[in-house]
Amino acid sequence: MRNESAKQKKCVRYFTKGPSVATPLSVAEPMQQFGGNWTEVKLAMLKDYLAAYTTALKNQPFSKMYIDAFAGAGYREIETQADSLGLFAAQAEAEGEGFFDGSAMLALQIPTLFDRYVFIEKKKKYMEELRRAVSANCPSLSGRMDFQPGDANEILPDLCRKTDWKKTRAVLFLDPFGMSVDWHTMEAIARTQAIDVWILFPAGIGVNRLLKQNPDHIPARWQEKLDRIFGNGEWKKAFFKTSSEQTLFGEEIVTKKVRGSISAIADYYRERLETIFPRVASNPRYLFNTKRSPMFIFTFAVGNPSPKAQGLAMKIARHILGKVR
Ligand SMILES: C[S@@+](CC[C@H](N)C(=O)[O-])C[C@H]1O[C@@H](n2cnc3c(N)ncnc32)[C@H](O)[C@@H]1O
């Protein structure tokens, strides 16, 4: 254990300044670039949970797994325009570079190790960069690494099916760019009864943009996307109401949007999650862009049926979600 923690310190030192010299990045290739302050807030919350989780389960007889299903390249390049960075412009300037650790690298810095780290990433180039960064910076952890290139909606259900959940507990981070997490994937996760999941849900940037005033004006492809993320077509009943209205031309059947605020979308997603997970955070964190428009909600669900395990996980998650950052 003493050896492991010494090696971990080494990883921390490398990672906190972005990709190490051992993983040179081609300047001709675009770097993975996304996010702003909300990304930092989201990652800080994840990191806090991973630290609390590994500490709480330290002496439990389970194999502990971290699953990063939209893992990325392991680092992020932050735009340097002050207006997109806000507070983090000062940080970027102070560090003299625009690279910061992504979720995968942050997970590897948690002092108490997970037994296995599963990284899923669809884009080959990012997966290769992540492999290089991890093996260059944390060679001692190579036996714990499991890189799974491909689509999270295929790999996750498979992983959930094949893992022995009597002996394993996991934290899963779902961090897609948009509406990429299918409901059947959420169902597979919930069925394990052993995964705590952090979900970046595109309430504003995705769902809200697809919910037009009249559902008949929502293109079929968008409706399919909404069906896939919510699990069925019941969302129409949740957000729209059909009634008869008296008009100049007599009585008409009219369908109108009756719920459509971001908080209504967040509430509906929570209601959906509550149909498959025993506990879901009631205080999701709203993540805003620099124009103060809500883009995502960041939320948490626990799969463990034990009230004691649920109570502890929810207490930590509620605290993390509510903390001012
Ligand atoms: C927001 S980024 C993740 C960033 C990462 N969590 C971090 O903090 O550095 C989303 C990533 O998911 C990948 N991706 C998109 N669709 C995917 C899918 N269906 N399955 C797996 N990865 C996917 C993208 O290539 C991208 O790298």
* The pLDDT of residue 27: 27
User: Greater confidence, 256 or 201?
Assistant: 201
Helix (H) or strand (E) holding 225: helix 220-230
Q: Residue 12 above 50 pLDDT? A: no
Which tokens is 207 given?
A: 């769902």
Q: Is 99 strand, coil or helix? A: strand
Which atom in ligand 1 lies closest to the alpha carbon of residue 34? 1
Token pair listed for 125: 């180039």
Half-sphere exposure of 274 (CA within 13 A, CB side): 9
Domains recognised in the chain with CATH numbers:
2-211+260-322 (3.40.50.150), 214-259 (no CATH)
Across-strand partners of 117?
Answer: 66, 145
The angle, 0 to 180 degrees and rounded to 10, between the axes of the packed helices 307-322 and 37-56 is 150
- What the block records as the tokens of 217 is 């004006």
Structure tokens at 136: 């260059």
The SS3 call for residue 202 is: coil
215, 255 Cβ separation under 8 angstroms:
yes
Does 319 have pLDDT greater than 80?
A: yes
What's the pLDDT band for 291 if we cut at 50, 70, 90? confident
Look at the pTM and tell me if it is higher than 0.85: yes
> Which residues, at least 6 apart from 41, have a Cβ–Cβ distance to it below 8 Å?
285, 287, 298, 325
Any ligand 1 atom below 6 A from CB of 114: no
197-249 pLDDT tens trace: 999 999 999 999 999 988 889 999 999 999 999 999 999 999 999 899 888 88
Average pLDDT value over all residues in the chain:
86
Instruction: Indicate the SS3 state at residue 113.
Output: coil
- Could you tell me if 210 and 218 are in contact, meaning their C-beta atoms sit under 8 angstroms apart? yes
Per-residue pLDDT band for 318 (boundaries 50, 70, 90) equals very high
> Could you tell me if the CB of 151 is within 6 A of ligand 1?
yes
Longest dimension (CA), the chain: 81
Residue nearest to atom 7 of ligand 1 (CA): 102
Q: Helix (H, G, I), strand (E, B), or coil: what is residue 290?
A: coil
Ligand 1 geometric centre to CA of 175 (Å): 6
Please tell me the distance from the alpha carbon of residue 189 to that of residue 204, in angstroms, as a whole number: 24
Q: What's the whole-number mean pLDDT along residues 277-302?
A: 94
By most ligand atoms within 8 Å of CB, the mutation choice from 42, 127, 177 for ligand 1 is: 177
Write out pLDDT tens, residues 16-48. Answer: 444 333 333 322 233 344 445 889 999 999 999
* Residue 222 structure tokens: 């968008």
Which residue, judged by its Cα, is nearest atom 3 of ligand 1? 72
* % of the chain beyond a pLDDT of 90: 69
Q: What is the mean pLDDT of residues 94-105?
A: 75
Distance 70 CA to ligand 1 centre (A): 4
- Determine whether the shortest distance from the Cβ of 120 to ligand 1 is under 6 A: yes
* Whether the CB of 48 sits within 6 Å of ligand 1: no
Tracing tokens 């991890």 back to the chain, one arrives at 134
Q: How many CA atoms lie within 13 A of 315 on its CB side?
A: 9
CA dihedral 272, 273, 278, 283 (to 10 degrees): -110
Tokens of 275: 């149909």
Chain segment 63-79, per-residue pLDDT in tens: 999 999 999 999 887 65
Token reading at 73: 């390249």
* 3-class DSSP state of 296: strand
Q: What is the distance between the alpha carbons of residues 311 and 296, in angstroms, rounded to a whole number?
A: 25
Phi-psi region of 86 (alpha: psi -120 to 50; beta: other; left: phi over 0): left
